[in-house]
Amino acid sequence: MSRLRVINLGLPKTGTTTVARALRRACLHTADHRIRAGQTKDDHLKDEYVANLIYEAYYRTGDPLAYLDEFDAFSEISLLRAGQSLWPQMDFGIITAIRTHHPEAKFFASWRPVADISDSMLRWSNLGSERLPGHDQPGLPQGYGGADHERQRWISAHYDHLDQIFAGSDAYLRLDIRTSAARAQLAALIGRKVPWWGHANRNRTNPKVTPATDAQGTDASDPDNDDTNKTEAV
């Protein structure tokens, strides 16, 4: 029997840093966007991006997780930087190969209302204004994604696609990170306790401006004001 592997197929700006912390508190060795030096003893993995390792393994071995064996969970797997635009969570071949090689794997997609995801993408550095429209993404060719309605259509299609791929499967969950039930739902999916759930690494540089904004200028209702430690993350 293969061991438990947990993969988040959600898009950036959906609480991926929060998810990473929650999975680590659940005693799962978690890779979040990039492999940091203190996370691995393998010098070949240090500072590598998860997306690159997934595709390299997929095309060399057929198993997208072949080079990531020491990790149990993956909280953010996409990459958009330096001319690279890699989105394994949107790749049917990648998802199918993981399910084939790791039959005990559990998948979820961190989610919140599409308008909120799109707005957070716009407010995070130059993601919505330059990087998305400046690159080709699956379903979002270069030149698209700078407008809110374009991002929203793309985001909606991704989650609808996942719902279709995993229809009828108990190995997948669309995880609404805003709800009080999120921690219990994640725990039920992975079959272990999730001791922590909250908001990690809020975006204090360009916070969402709403009546709910707190004294520090951070929207208390925006669970993905995050990623301050992932300056190159999508």
Answer for the pair 98, 91: CB distance below 8 angstroms, yes or no.
no
pLDDT at 211 over 90: no
Token pair, residue 106, equals 């559990």
Residue 206's pLDDT band (cuts 50, 70, 90): low
| Residue 108: burial class (beta carbons within 10 Å; 0-12, 13-18, 19+) | buried
**Token digits of residue 53:** 């390792």
pLDDT in the model for residue 212: 39
Q: What is the band of 203 on the pLDDT scale with cuts at 50, 70, 90?
A: low
Domain positions in the chain: 6-190
pLDDT tens by residue, 2-24? 799 999 999 999 999 999 999 99
CATH, domain range 6-190: 3.40.50
* Average pLDDT score over residue span 26-52: 95
Do residues 15 and 194 make contact, with C-beta atoms less than 8 angstroms apart? Answer: no
